[in-house]
Structure 1
Amino acid sequence: MKRLLIIAHAPSKNTQKMLEAVINGASHPDIENVEVFSLPPLETHPEDINAADAIILGTTENLGYMAGLMKDVFDRCYYPCLDKNEGLPFAFYIRAGHDGTGTRRAIECITKGLRWRLVQDPLICRGDFQTGFIDQCEELGLSIAASLEAGII
């Protein structure tokens, strides 16, 4: 059984719906050999990351950067995870009120230092909330879980 860890900051009703959609997609009934775990940033520890076979990160864009609680995960877990999960497949989504550029750059910079492997283009949900974001998040969860199960990532 492979482990897919979802770490997401979901402070609003809409971002909670996005997180639930990622979880629902990743937990699709046709995917039988992937255990899906979801943790909020403050409950995420290095052991959780080191035990994962793949990760999906989710964050809001706050002042052109990732949410502080997501940054806190990296601050606490960076060195305990460094050199323990090189090549870890991951993907991420951003709920961006603006363009998400700074948030994307920050996540890619930190994960490059960890030597994680981005396996899908980031999902950046820009502007006013749209119901289509939910479908996109569900597709992200399904895609990563199915790819993990199939051994593609």
Structure 2
Amino acid sequence: MKRLLIVAHAPSPNTLKLREAAERGARHPDIDNVEVVVKSPLEAGPDDVRACDAILLGTPENLGYMSGALKDFFDRSYYPILEEKQGLPCALYIRAGRDGTGTRRAVESIVTGLRWKWAQHPLTLRGEWQEEFVGQVEELGLYLAAGLEAGVL
């Protein structure tokens, strides 16, 4: 069985909806052979990354950057997993009140350093809240889980 790790910061009701949507998509009833583990960035660490076969990251845009909680996750995990998890399939969603560019670049920089591979381009949910954001993140979770199960990630 493959394992998908979802590490998403959800400090607001809307970002919690997004994290729940990612999990719902990843746990789609048609997917049988993927275990889904969901953790906040402050709970997740190197051992969780070592145990997964793909990772989905989620963050709000905070002052043009990723959340401090996600940055903390990377600070604690980067060097312990640097040599072990190269090539790990990953994806990212950003809940951006503005444009999300700084947040995306910051996470992309870390992912490049870790030598993870993008399963899909980062999903940036820009501007005022829209309920369609939930469906987009659910689809992203489904895509990653289905790709893991099919062996294409």
Q: Does 1:22 align with 2:22?
A: yes
* Post-superposition CA distance 1:131-153 (Å, at most 9, x none): 00000011000001000100010
Runs of at least 4 residues off by over 6 Å:
none
Q: What residue is the counterpart of 1:151 in the other structure?
A: 151
CA distance in 2, matches of 1:22, 1:56: 8
Alignment TM-score, normalising by the size of structure 2? 0.99
Q: What residue is the counterpart of 1:32 in the other structure?
A: 32
CA distance in 1, matches of 2:48, 2:18: 22
Q: What residue is the counterpart of 1:69 in the other structure?
A: 69
Q: How does 1:76-115 map to 2 (within 5 A)?
A: 76-115=76-115
Shift of 1:121: 1.1
Shift of 1:83: 0.7
CA distance in 1, matches of 2:104, 2:137: 16
Q: What residue is the counterpart of 2:41 in the other structure?
A: 41
CA distance in 1, matches of 2:119, 2:131: 25
Q: Does 1:122 align with 2:138?
A: no
One-letter code of the match for 2:43?
E
Identity across matched positions, percent? 63
- Unpaired segments ≥5 residues, structure 2: none
CA distance in 1, matches of 2:108, 2:151: 23
CA distance in 2, matches of 1:9, 1:45: 14
Q: Any idea what SS the aligned residue of 2:11 has?
A: coil
RMSD: 0.4
Alignment TM-score, normalising by the size of structure 1? 0.99
